[in-house]
Homo-oligomer: A and B are copies of this chain.
Amino acid sequence: MSKLVIVGTVAFDAIETPFGKTDKILGGAATYIGLAASQFNVDSAAVSIVGGDFPQEYLNLLSDRKVDISGIEIVKEGKTFFWSGKYHNDMNTRDTLATELNVLADFQPVVPAAYRDSKIVMLGNLHPLVQLSVLEQMESKPELVILDTMNFWMDCALDDLLNVIKKVDVITINDEEARQLTGEYSLVVAASKIQEMGPKYVVIKKGEHGALLFHKDNVFYAPALPLKEVFDPTGAGDTFAGGFAGYLTKSDDISFENMKNAVIYGSTLASFCVEKFGTERMVSLKSSEVHQRLQQFKSLTQFDIELT
């Protein structure tokens, strides 16, 4: 079976939305990516770092789902990365209330030996130098390297970011970030410029408006499922990435046609993630529910115009 390496934060989040607020709960990019990828029963490993304050039960949540946690370093005397944010009424914008790097400040990722030959690597949002270090530990060039990032690194580590972007096959990025990275308003033009930077495939996430996959002159558009309410958007982008990477790992087919399916799986899983606070919905998610929602995605998008 193909293997998947995931690097990203494993963290505490405290979230406030118009629907309520949480204390410190389980969060982090690698957490959401791992939970999403676990839906595909793939052999994955999370590479991350936590402090001595991090509950074993949170780690068990991952290992119970066959996410290898031997690459999650535990710094007994350290504190776990903490992020706190508050969403505005439209759920599309948020204010960061607190960011405590803690053990993340000195994170030196180590990919477990058994995963250095993985076919797929998912570089979750982190400092580009940490992402690069993971890539450099791989024994041979992975079949597919997927990078997620955010505007923060464009603002304060652009050269490092461009350097890692050069080395990846797929980038997932949101619309505003794609515009910031390229200085282009049109997402078609932005995606084309990003392909010149390195990645052959560009996924632009547009939140409630869905996601676009670009490759050369090909475009695929997966809508987001229209929802009655978005309860908490935290982790939706990471869940998308985890679904995308997990599906590709399982299906062992990295063609553009199959990447379309991966985008649909990513969107499907993200549509669950936002239904409850934090990881709650992803933890309880059953494969029968995923199957049913894929059916909804089909009727949402498929039409029947005969063209000759």
Contact = CB atoms under 8 A, between A and B. Distances in A.
Interface stretch (A59-67, A149-157, A166-174, A295-303): A295-303
Given A212-B226, A300-B221, A185 B264 contact: no
A97 interface: no
A112 interface: no
A186 B304 contact: no
Contact of A307 (B188, B229, B295): B295
How many copies of the shown chain assemble into the complex? 2
A291 interface: yes
B299 A261 contact: no
Interface of A is mostly: mixed
B188 A228 contact: yes
Interface string A221-259: 111001111000000000000000000000000000100
Nearest to A229: B186
A227 B188 CA distance: 6
A209 B212 contact: no
Interface residues of A, number: 38
Given A188-B226, A228-B188, A257 B221 contact: no
Contact of A218 (B218, B228, B299): B299
Interface in A195-233: 206, 209-210, 212, 218-223, 226-229
A242 B116 CA distance: 57
Contact of A303 (B185, B264, B299, B307): B264
Nearest to A90: B185
B304 A298 contact: no
A260 B189 CA distance: 29
A89 interface: yes
B294 A305 contact: yes
A181 interface: no
Interface in A175-190: 185-189
A307 to B, nearest CB: 6
14 contacts: A89-B185, A186-B227, A188-B226, A209-B210, A218-B299, A219-B300, A220-B299, A220-B300, A221-B300, A257-B304, A261-B303, A295-B307, A298-B305, A301-B301
Given A90-B185, A189-B229, A260-B303, 11 more contacts: A187-B226, A218-B299, A220-B303, A223-B223, A260-B304, A261-B305, A264-B303, A294-B305, A298-B305, A301-B301, A301-B303
